Amino acid sequence: MSARPEEIILAEPRGFCAGVDRAIDIVEHALAKFGAPIYVRHEIVHNTYVVNDLKAKGAIFIEDLAEVPPGATLVFSAHGVSKAVQAEAEQRGFRIFDATCPLVTKVHVEVAKLAREGYEFIMIGHKGHPEVEGTMGQLDRGIHLVEDVADVARVQPEQTEKLAVVTQTTLSVDDAAEISAAVQARFPLIRAPKQQDICYATQNRQDAVKMLSREVDVVIVVGSPTSSNSNRLAELARKLGVDSYMVDSPAELRAEWLAGKKRVGLTAGASAPEVLVQDVVDRIRALGAVSIRKMDGIVETTKFPLPKGLRIGQQ
């Protein structure tokens, strides 16, 4: 086998999803319309390059609303926020734009609707992830987090007649299915979402990595360490028996990862911009790869509209 990489195969689809596009657009439109600074609660999306780019344009990222001056413009990140954070922001009188991904908002709406009907919830997700905190924070009580099959055996809802399951949108599709099956086995009457909560972009990128892994000797995932969906892509390739590494920038790519690997697969998490993918392509080419091809894959056409009042010229 060649000591240097020969071919780069690009996964399709990869990179930005509609929710990420919309979230970044919201911050950029707010900066254009109201001027810097624009305050953003939490990283708008989990990507270092994107966050640094928006910082350079005048966005200030905060975790505590006390850091935002009265009357300022505040954007909620794509991951969504709890009812308590929403109420505090309104009480402090900020001009608020909500960049929560509409697919996360769909989960929030479902939780609120079923809670009014007396349901409790089992939520499948990662503790401490801002999306999970936002979804669980839609209710004061009655929503129980499970991170794995072992948690399912331990969870103790107050009643089981009215129980529903919801899922973080960026999980491993296969892991979520396994945990869902365990939930269903323990609570046979549990209500599942009409459509699965894992978003189309997470599903599509994982399906693409499954196809990619059959054709390559190593998979490189462009994404930040905090990005749930990027981590899942690297994990998935490893589960399929292919070496996989995640890089936040081309500088992190190490030549020894590619030594003896003829075909290099390249993908990107839903919050990683294409400019970084192309920079990583250039770095792999500098290490010897001469050809590049794109896999066939789903072409995503989903677009989400901006909130009212953000288009230039609108009041």
Whether residue 240 is predicted with pLDDT greater than 70 in this model: the reply is: yes
pLDDT tens for residues 156-188?
999 999 999 999 999 999 999 999 999 999 999
| Mean pLDDT value across residues 273-281 | 98
Identify whether the C-beta of residue 44 lies closer than 8 Å to the C-beta of residue 51. yes
Region 128-149: what's the mean pLDDT? Answer: 98
Strand pairing category for 163-167 and 120-124: parallel
Residue range 30-47: average pLDDT?
97
User: With 80 as the cut, is the pLDDT of residue 311 above it?
Assistant: no
β partners of residue 145: 123
Could you tell me where the DSSP H helices lie in the chain? 18-34, 48-57, 83-91, 102-116, 130-136, 149-154, 173-186, 200-213, 228-239, 255-258, 274-286
User: What percentage of the chain carries pLDDT values higher than 90?
Assistant: 95
Cis-peptide into 13, omega within 30 deg = yes
pLDDT confidence of residue 309:
86
Q: CA 36 to CA 278: how far, in whole Å? A: 30
Collapsing DSSP to helix, strand or coil, 277 comes out as helix
Question: Which of 37-51, 189-203, 221-235 shows the lowest mean pLDDT across its residues?
Answer: 189-203
Residues for the chain: how many in total? 315
Smallest CA-to-CA distance from 134 within 170, 163, 160 is with 170
Residue 82 pLDDT exceeds 60: yes
**For helices 200-213 and 228-239, what crossing angle results, to 10°?**
30
Which residues have CB under 8 Å from 254's CB, separation 6+? 245
CA distance 37 to 311: 18
Tokens of 108: 């929030």
Identify which of 193, 191, 249, 189 has the alpha carbon closest to the alpha carbon of residue 220: 249
| Catalytic residue list | 131
Over residues 103-114, mean pLDDT: 97
Residue the block writes with tokens 């399709």: 12
User: What pLDDT does residue 312 have?
Assistant: 63
Q: Are 218 and 247 in contact (CB under 8 A)?
A: no
> pLDDT tens digit string along 188-201?
999 998 888 999 99
For the sheet containing 7-10, what is the strand order? 243-247, 218-222, 263-268, 7-10, 291-294
Q: Is the pLDDT of residue 315 over 60?
A: no
pLDDT computed for residue 225 by the predictor: 97
What integer pLDDT is reported at residue 195 of this predicted model?
A: 85
| pLDDT tens digits, one per residue of 14-37 | 999 999 999 999 999 999 999 999
Choice among 52-56, 89-93, 118-122, 306-310 with the minimum mean pLDDT = 306-310
Residue 138 amino acid letter: Q
Average pLDDT value for residue range 102-119: 98
Banded pLDDT at 1 (limits 50, 70, 90): very low
Least confident stretch, 75-84, 101-110, 253-262, 302-311: 302-311
Mean model confidence pLDDT for the chain: 96
Predicted TM-score of the model (pTM): 0.95
What is the rounded distance in angstroms from the CA atom of residue 56 to the CA atom of residue 81?
A: 25
pLDDT computed for residue 72 by the predictor:
98
- Hey, what domains does the chain have and what are their CATH numbers? 7-16+200-294 (3.40.1010.20), 18-100 (3.40.50.11270), 103-186 (3.40.1010.20)
